[in-house]
Amino acid sequence: MKIAVVGATGLVGGQMLKVLAEFKIPVTELYPVASARSVGKKIAYEGKEYEVVSMEKAVELAPDIAIFSAGGGTSLEWAPKFAEVGTVVIDNSSAWRMDPTKKLVVPEINAKELTKEDKIIANPNCSTIQMVLPLAPLHDKYGIKRVVVSTYQSVTGTGKAAVDQLMAEREGTEGVEMAYPHEIDLNVLPHIDVFQENGYTKEEMKMIKETNKILGDDSIKVTATTVRLPVMGGHSESVNIEFHNDFDLAEVKTLLENTDGVIVQDDPANNVYPMPKYAHNKNEVFVGRLRRDESQDNTLNMWNVADNLRKGAATNAVQIAKYLIENKLVG
């Protein structure tokens, strides 16, 4: 199995290499791919060193799978070129997510929709993935009417420049590039991605539209406020879910405990609830603070946390690759 990792020198690319190894994906040939300035650098994987190659060279090598984490513009330009040589592209950017001809996949929910004809597969937004994974079994059981979500997102979601900004502010270092329009240390920014004409940010609109597509139900109403915090390790979300039908709280907990990729941490009497510090480097979505919304019928409050570089990006992409390989949809 020949696999290319596009954006191999970035934060998500590095996690993709780790997860490929952890999941024991049968990589016979690895092609780390990055921008021209990184070509020739060495990347370590499973005890060996691999030389970073250019996009052009990677297309020429025609890998079986190319996992992209290199931005939307790069994906729009290069994913079709890989697809033309028979490569299946799993893309982590927003470039293809809302394309009606492309599948938007969280493997535990809708991998079964994939076929051999799918040459470009979209990986959802990190904050969407960790929300829809616990929502899916609840929607199947009770029918979701409306979701109100507020996110508390790690600086790692922005990339290395944001991590550097946070650390520089914390250490009092001057002259570091600003990834955000304001200081992030000891601050909270209700601003992720660019603002749209409707007053929402692009990140908020991603969560709204992607949720409907992944769950296959445009009737679900979603509203979102996405917020950046000076946090490392993962994203957190406060989710308020109104159902068409009433629910039993114990049954909700059991449903989530039996959902692949979800770990319930819900024992407030002993201060047990999900936190990004402890979700770091984990592949699961952690769920807790499960309780009825006492202001409205048929409504549940939930708190979830996940490592945005893992399940929110690298892990989900590698799980898609694993599904393709195991079901002989590639190679």
Q: Which residues are catalytic?
A: 126, 235
Residue in this structure with the two tokens 């959902």, named with its chain if needed: 259
Which pair of tokens denotes residue 94? 């927003």
Residue in this structure with the two tokens 């994203």, named with its chain if needed: 235
- Amino acid in position 113: E
Phi-psi region of 233 (alpha: psi -120 to 50; beta: other; left: phi over 0): left
Quote the CA–CA distance of 222 and 125 in Å, as a whole number: 15
User: Which secondary structure element, helix H or strand E, spans residue 79, and what is its range?
Assistant: helix 72-84
Q: Which of 10, 2, 58 is nearest to 30 (CA)?
A: 2
Which pair of tokens denotes residue 207? 């969560």
Which pair of tokens denotes residue 14? 């590095």
Quote the CA–CA distance of 305 and 152 in Å, as a whole number: 9
Quote the CA–CA distance of 40 and 28 in Å, as a whole number: 20
Quote the CA–CA distance of 296 and 298 in Å, as a whole number: 7
* Cβ atoms of residues 53 and 32 within 8 Å: yes
Residue in this structure with the two tokens 């033309």, named with its chain if needed: 84
**Neighbour-count burial of 277, counting CB atoms closer than 10 A to its CB (0-12 exposed, 13-18 middle, 19+ buried):** exposed
